[in-house]
Amino acid sequence: MRAFGEWEKQELIFLSLPHENTDWKPYLDEILDAYERLVAAIVPFQKVVLICPDERIFEERFAKFDNVEFVKIDTDDTWIRDYGMIDVEDFADADAGSNGKNSTSEGAACCERGGGENSSRRAKIVSYDFKFNAWGGKFESSKDNAVNLELAKRFKSDLRSIDLVLEGGSIDFNGRGTLLTTQKCLLNDNRNSHLNKEQIETRLKELFGLRRVIWLKNGFIKGDDTDSHVDTLARFIAPDTIAYASCDDPADEHFEELAAMKKELENTGFKLVPLPLPKAKFYGGKRLGCTYANFIFINGAVIVPTYGDDNDKIVLERLAQELPNHKIIGVDSLVFVRQNGSLHCSSQNKYSGASEAKQVSSERSEAENKYSGASEA
């Protein structure tokens, strides 16, 4: 197995639209306006699949876009990053060809994804369906837990059910055998209380083909209710580079925690790119969880949340310098964060065309040799 770096080639991206039966109801028009801006930013680069129980919302607001598809599915919430299927490359299936052998014993294929005549020489994409308990039982999640089965049927995905509570926003990969995550989330008693750290790490290594798991002890974003998802704090932007949320104001409540997180990251051996937090933003008397780390990679571009702040320009320019082959696009996200998420939380990437196993193995070995000697955070 190999977990993808988010910058790798994608087939499409899933977005789960807000509707009247979600917490967005008091300002549904505002958030749908925000989703229109997000879709408009993505469709020039790749296909967007919109899921929602209300087809009227799609027809009135999104049918005008090219490169979009609608799937009618009921949901509890919009944050599909956390309950959506997670793609990996399965090299064992490539070696086995079409004999149906899997490298993991968990789950069964829901639908067979065609391998073609080169299936014996190329890795196969499979999709994991983890258990989702709405961030530790904070909200209802039964409808969200059923979404992947419907999407797998529609898109002929090889879906494998995994008996582990795991949200997509709680993990981030460099595509070369390293995972970045946080202890506050993955070791929280409200997720997998029957497993200890070593057991969880073993499972993650088996499922994603990892050599290294970086566990961050520090870091939080005020207004986040996910128990410190890593996609609000620190993200890989290349196999050798991590972009992270930083705070330069000693009076800000984030200062000490993010400074401690920075020290942890400095011990990883990866190149670091700071993304300074915007000034505090409020809605309804509550500080909003504004962070630039919640960006989305799509084919040829990076969609970055902006907040009407002076640091918007600094962050966009910094990412453009680090990612010269990507167009950096800012999308206003102040409405998204009213419900404690942002752009990355709202989306889930689906990858296309697996690489040749020999090629990826060579690239991964080179990266592992370069970074495996770094001390564990």
Mean pLDDT of 47-66: 97
**CA-CA distance, 222 to 290, in Å (whole number)?**
8
Comparing 140-144, 167-171, 196-200, 259-263, the range with the smallest average pLDDT is 140-144
The CATH number of 2-371 is 3.75.10.10
DSSP 38-54: HHHHHTTTSEEEEEES-
Count CB atoms within 10 A of the CB of residue 32: 18
What's this model's pTM, rounded to 2 decimal places? 0.88
Residues 151-167: tens digit of each pLDDT: 999 999 999 999 999 99
**Residue 123 CB contacts under 8 Å (≥ 6 apart), including other chains:** 2, 89, 90, 91, 93, 94, 354, 355, 356, 357, 360
Q: What is the pLDDT of residue 96?
A: 54
- 8-state DSSP, 226: S
Q: What is the pLDDT of residue 118?
A: 39
Query: pLDDT band at residue 377, thresholds of 50, 70 and 90?
Result: very low
The residue that leads in pLDDT, 124 or 30, is: 30
Q: Check the CA dihedral 220-224-227-229 and report its sign.
A: negative
Give the β-pairing of 86-90 and 68-72: unpaired
Query: pLDDT band at residue 260, thresholds of 50, 70 and 90?
Result: very high
Mean pLDDT of 353-361: 49
Q: What is the mean pLDDT of the chain?
A: 88
Domain boundary assignment for the chain: 2-371
Comparing CA positions, the residue from 35, 39, 38, 13 lying closest to residue 22 is 35
Q: What is the pLDDT of residue 105?
A: 36
- The 10 Å CB-count burial string (b at 16+, else e) for 68-99 is bebbebbbbbbbbbbbbbbbbbbbebbebeee
Cβ pair 10, 45 in contact under 8 A: no
Share of the chain above pLDDT 70, in %: 85
Residues 335-348: tens digit of each pLDDT: 999 999 999 999 99
Residues 199-247: tens digit of each pLDDT: 999 999 999 999 999 999 999 999 887 888 999 999 999 999 999 999 9
Residues 93-151: tens digit of each pLDDT: 555 544 444 444 343 333 333 333 333 447 899 999 999 887 767 777 789 989 999 99
Q: What is the signed CA dihedral for 358, 363, 364, 366, rounded to 10 degrees? A: 130
Q: What is the pLDDT of residue 117?
A: 37
Q: Which residue is listed with tokens 């059910």?
A: 161
- 8-state DSSP, 142: H
Q: What is the pLDDT of residue 176?
A: 96
Residues 300-341: tens digit of each pLDDT: 999 999 999 999 999 999 999 999 999 999 999 999 999 999
